[in-house]
């Protein structure tokens, strides 16, 4: 099967040009101006933008938190609809199991034959034993070149202390594994939460007030210092605030291999959403907490300056019913917000159309850079011959308003409800197969496949 996409504006992370793309089977066969080839289907893409399929390096499916489980890989059609053709999921190490074993079992039970987009995994250390740390060296050959630790969430089984983070860094550096951390000071959060509750402050808004920027800044600085001690690369997930960016910037200026991402919600929303009536504020409870408007400007600029290199969704599909666990106590609200399908259109609307970033920068933050970070950039994130034919035809003429009625996220609200949206994914290819057509999902469950990452994302080499 040969498909020719003609006369679109092809956008790569370096430049854009009007041209054609030939898909042959599952791969991009050729790219250029006026390709003179026969094809089974010719698509006229005049006026459209042609982007590589997105890579969301930070998403949660079937994720258990505070006794509640998010929606799973059966909702990854939402990713496809939003132009994301690869998701990378965090898998918490199970009791009594190694890291590789946990992920292999998780893949069989929760992902294979279900996922509608391609996928990879970040194992999460929850059992900081000698055996676990030794298992880190087995990760690259299994195709998982990252390992994640949560410095936040005291009292949860997946919380890690500095000793665990340091042991992981020491093991990871020679194995070609990148350590990722959720950097927030867990003790400081607990202290402030106890004080808030003692004063009778139980509303969702106190989630933000008890996790002020300093808890993230302090933990980010500490994580970088642990990496400095271990002489290991480190990746800081969901960076939201100036102090944390500045810590990354300072380390980079010293030449240290320190990297960070931010997420769509931190670029677009502020903490006032947590004060919404009727417990609606709970829908915006995620960690780190939403910040202020000036933090958003700083994050956009930090992407442009290269201090942050990717934008993820940190997607969590909890329902409003599940959020009600914390109706009397904000500490019990399961953390996380859905955003799997909104990443590209929101970056397009509020980044590109608003003049904050270029289309090529968008492609870098949402596809190419996450592919590099996770060692899948030999197949994903680029429009080049030989790459997987994961391609988005983006129609910039559509204007609409985000609403849950159009959403495939599987829960009963969307974080971006009421946001104006410019453009939509008119057509999306996953390894050459059409999974979105005329803005509608048309694929099938189980179409996604596992993508093996290679040791150290190229970003670190
Ligand atoms: O609030 C969030 N982000 N929930 C998901 C878990 C995490 O910290 O990434
Ligand atoms: Zn996190
Ligand atoms: Zn997360
Ligand atoms: Zn590579």
Average pLDDT of every residue of the chain: 97
Q: Which residues pair with 122 in a beta bridge?
A: 90
pLDDT at site 456:
78
Ligand with an atom nearest the CA of residue 314: 3
Tens of pLDDT, residue by residue over 276-305, are 999 999 999 999 999 999 999 999 999 999
Residue 414 has pLDDT above 90, yes or no: yes
Q: Whose CA is nearest to atom 5 of ligand 1?
A: 336
Q: Which residues line the pocket of ligand 1, CB cutoff 6 A?
A: 60, 182, 286-287, 314, 316, 335-336
pTM, full prediction: 0.98
Residue nearest to atom 7 of ligand 1 (CA): 287
231-250: pLDDT as tens digits: 999 999 999 999 999 999 99
CA of 162 to the centre of ligand 2 (A): 16
Model confidence pLDDT, tens digit, residues 380-412: 999 999 999 999 999 999 999 999 999 999 999
Third-level CATH fold of 53-379: TIM Barrel (3.20.20)
Q: Mean pLDDT across the stretch 299-327?
A: 98
95-121: average pLDDT: 98
C-beta contacts of 157-164 below 8 A and 24+ residues apart: 157/92, 157/126, 158/92, 158/124, 158/126, 159/186, 160/125, 160/126, 160/128, 161/128, 162/222, 162/226, 163/128, 164/125, 164/128
Residues in contact with 271: Cβ distance below 8 Å, sequence separation at least 6, in sequence order: 205, 208, 289, 290, 291, 292
Percent over 90 (pLDDT), the chain: 98
Question: 268 CA to middle of ligand 1, Å?
Answer: 17
Mutate to test the pocket of ligand 1, among 90, 335, 339 (most ligand atoms within 8 A of CB): 335
The 10s digit of each residue's pLDDT in 210-235 is 999 999 999 999 999 999 999 999 99
The pLDDT tens digits for 6-16 are: 999 999 999 99
Residues contacting residue 151 through CB under 8 Å, at least 6 positions apart:
159, 160, 162, 165, 181, 182, 183, 184, 185, 186, 219, 222, 223
ipTM over 0.95: no
Q: What percent of the chain has pLDDT over 70?
A: 99
Give me the count of residues in the chain: 461
Q: How far is the CA of 383 from the centre of ligand 4 (A)?
A: 14
Mean pLDDT of 36-65: 97
Q: How confident is the model at residue 458 (pLDDT cuts 50, 70, 90)?
A: low
């Amino acid at each position: 099967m040969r498909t020719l996409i003609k006369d679109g504006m092809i956008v790569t992370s370096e430049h854009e040009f009007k041209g054609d793309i030939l898909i042959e089977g599952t791969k991009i066969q050729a790219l250029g101006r006026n390709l003179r080839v026969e094809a089974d289907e010719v698509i006229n893409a005049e006026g459209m933008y042609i982007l590589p399929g997105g890579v969301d390096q930070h998403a949660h499916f079937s994720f258990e938190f505070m006794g509640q489980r998010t929606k799973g890989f059966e909702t990854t059609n939402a990713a496809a609809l939003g132009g994301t053709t690869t998701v990378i999921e965090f898998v918490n190490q199970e009791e009594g199991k190694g890291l590789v074993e946990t992920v292999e079992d998780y893949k069989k039970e929760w992902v294979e034959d279900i996922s509608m987009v391609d996928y990879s995994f970040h194992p999460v250390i929850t059992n900081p034993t000698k055996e676990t740390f030794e298992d880190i060296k087995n990760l690259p050959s299994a195709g998982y070149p990252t390992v994640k630790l949560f410095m936040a969430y005291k009292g949860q089984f997946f919380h890690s202390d500095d000793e665990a983070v340091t042991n992981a860094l020491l093991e990871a550096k020679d194995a070609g594994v990148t350590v990722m951390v959720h950097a927030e000071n867990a003790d400081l959060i607990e202290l402030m939460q106890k004080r808030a509750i003692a004063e009778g402050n139980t509303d969702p808004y106190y989630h933000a007030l008890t996790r002020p920027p300093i808890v993230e800044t302090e933990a980010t600085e500490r994580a970088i210092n642990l990496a400095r001690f271990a002489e290991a690369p480190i990746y800081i997930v969901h960076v939201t605030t100036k102090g944390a960016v500045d810590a990354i910037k300072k380390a980079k200026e010293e030449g240290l291999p320190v990297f960070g991402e931010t997420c769509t919600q931190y670029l677009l929303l502020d903490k006032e959403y947590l004060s919404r009536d009727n417990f609606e504020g709970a829908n915006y409870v995620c960690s780190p907490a939403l910040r202020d408007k000036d933090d958003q400007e700083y994050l956009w600029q930090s992407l442009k300056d290269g201090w942050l290199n990717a934008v993820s969704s940190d997607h969590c599909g909890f329902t409003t019913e599940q959020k009600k666990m914390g109706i009397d106590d904000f500490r019990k609200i399961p953390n996380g917000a859905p955003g799997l399908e909104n990443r590209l259109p929101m970056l397009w609307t509020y980044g590109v159309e608003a003049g904050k970033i270029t289309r090529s920068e968008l492609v870098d933050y949402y596809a190419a850079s996450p592919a590099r970070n996770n060692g899948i950039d030999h197949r994903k994130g680029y429009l080049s011959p030989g790459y997987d034919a994961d391609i988005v035809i983006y129609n910039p003429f559509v204007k609409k308003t985000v609403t849950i009625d159009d959403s495939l996220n599987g829960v009963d609200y969307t974080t971006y409800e009421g946001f104006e949206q410019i453009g939509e994914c008119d057509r999306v290819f996953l390894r050459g197969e059409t999974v979105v057509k005329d803005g509608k999902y048309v694929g099938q469950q189980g179409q996604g496949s596992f993508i093996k990452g290679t040791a150290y994302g190229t970003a670190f080499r």
